[in-house]
Structure 1
Amino acid sequence: MSVVVDQMTHMPIALLEDRSGEALDNWLIRNPQIQYITRDRGRCFTEAINRIIPDVTQICDRFHLIKNMTDTMMPEIEIHNRRIEAYLHEQQKTVLKYVSELATIISAGCITRKILAQKMGSKISGALIGRITSSLRKRYQQKRKEVKEHNESIENGSKIQRVSQNQIRKYILKGESDNPKLAEPYKSSPQIKELLSVCQNFRDMINENTYDKDIRKWIEKAKATRNMALTNFAYSIEKDWEAVQAAIDIPFSSGLLERTVNKIKAVKRQVQ
Structure 2
Amino acid sequence: MAFSHLSSVVVDEVRADGGGVALTARTATPEAACPDCGTVSGRLHGGYRRRLADLSAAGRQVVIDLLVRRFLCPAAACGRRTFVEQVDGLTERFARRTPLLRRSLEKIALALAGRPGARLAAHLSIPTSANSLLRLVRRLPDKHIGAAPRVLGVDDFALKKGHVYGTIILDMESGERVDVLPDRTAETLTAWLRAHPGAEIVCRDRASAYAEAVRTACPDAIQVADRFLLWKNLCEAVEKCVATHRSCLADPTEDAPAEAAVEQEVSGRPDGMRVIRRRERHTAVHDLYDKGVPIQAISKALGLDRKTVRRDAHAATPEEASLGTGSRRYGQVHAYSPYLHRRWNEGCTDAARLHAEIVELGFTGSKRTVRRHLQEIRASGRPTPARPKALTVRTATWLITSHPDHLEENGTLKLKKLLSRCPELDAVAACVRSFAVMMTARRGGDLESWLSCAEDTGMKPLQSLARGLRQDFDAVTAGLTLEWNSGKVEGNVNRAKRIKRDGYGRAGFDLLRLRILLAG
Partner of 1:141: none
1:164–1:227 Cα change, 3 Å: closer
Tell me the alpha carbon deviations over residues 167-190 of structure 1, each in whole angstroms, 9 at most, x when there is no partner. Answer: 523423447673465442212333
Tell me the alpha carbon deviations over residues 59-117 of structure 1, each in whole angstroms, 9 at most, x when there is no partner. Answer: 0000000000111120211339xxxxxxxxxxxxxxxxxxxxxxxx9559565442469
Q: Quote how far apart the aligned CAs of 1:196 are.
A: 0.6
Partner of 1:206: 439
1:216–1:164 Cα change, 3 Å: closer
Instruction: Tell me the amino acid that sits aligned with residue 8 of structure 1.
Output: E
SS in 1 for 2:478: helix
Q: Which moved more, 1:7-16 or 1:180-189?
A: 180-189
Tell me the alpha carbon deviations over residues 186-212 of structure 1, each in whole angstroms, 9 at most, x when there is no partner. Answer: 123333222111112112212226x68
Partner of 1:74: 239
Residue 417 of structure 2: which of 177, 184, 206 is its match? 184
User: Is the aligned partner of 1:26 residue 2:259?
Assistant: no
User: Is the aligned partner of 1:235 residue 2:464?
Assistant: no
Q: Quote how far apart the aligned CAs of 1:11 are.
A: 1.0
More helix by share: 1
2:503 and 2:222 map into 1 onto residues whose CA distance is 37
Instruction: Tell me the amino acid that sits aligned with residue 398 of structure 2.
Output: R
User: Is the aligned partner of 1:251 residue 2:483?
Assistant: yes
SS in 1 for 2:364: helix
Partner of 1:194: 427
Instruction: Give the TM-score of the pair, scaled to structure 2.
Output: 0.38
1:114 and 1:153 map into 2 onto residues whose CA distance is 30
Partner of 2:449: 217
Contact 2:444 2:481 in 1 (8 A): no
Contact 1:173 1:196 in 2 (8 A): no
2:179 and 2:169 map into 1 onto residues whose CA distance is 5
More strand by share: 2
Contact 2:203 2:486 in 1 (8 A): yes
Partner of 1:49: 214
Contact 2:170 2:178 in 1 (8 A): yes
Residue 262 of structure 1: which of 494, 499, 502 is its match? 494
Contact 2:444 2:478 in 1 (8 A): no
SS in 2 for 1:2: strand
1:28 and 1:169 map into 2 onto residues whose CA distance is 40
Residue 12 of structure 1: which of 164, 168, 177 is its match? 177
1:76–1:116 Cα change, 3 Å: farther
Residue 225 of structure 2: which of 42, 46, 60 is its match? 60
User: Is the aligned partner of 1:165 residue 2:330?
Assistant: no
Structural RMSD (CA): 3.4
Partner of 1:39: 204
1:240–1:22 Cα change, 3 Å: closer
Q: Which moved more, 1:245-254 or 1:193-202?
A: 193-202
Q: Quote how far apart the aligned CAs of 1:6 are.
A: 0.4
Question: How high is the sequence identity, in percent, across the aligned residues?
Answer: 22
Instruction: Tell me the amino acid that sits aligned with residue 201 of structure 2.
Output: Y
Contact 1:61 1:254 in 2 (8 A): yes
Partner of 1:84: none
| Structure with larger RCO (C-alpha < 8 A, sep 6+) | 1
Q: Quote how far apart the aligned CAs of 1:218 are.
A: 1.0
Q: Quote how far apart the aligned CAs of 1:249 are.
A: 1.5
Partner of 2:135: none
2:223 and 2:237 map into 1 onto residues whose CA distance is 23
Partner of 1:97: none
Q: Which moved more, 1:9-18 or 1:45-54?
A: 45-54
1:2 and 1:55 map into 2 onto residues whose CA distance is 22
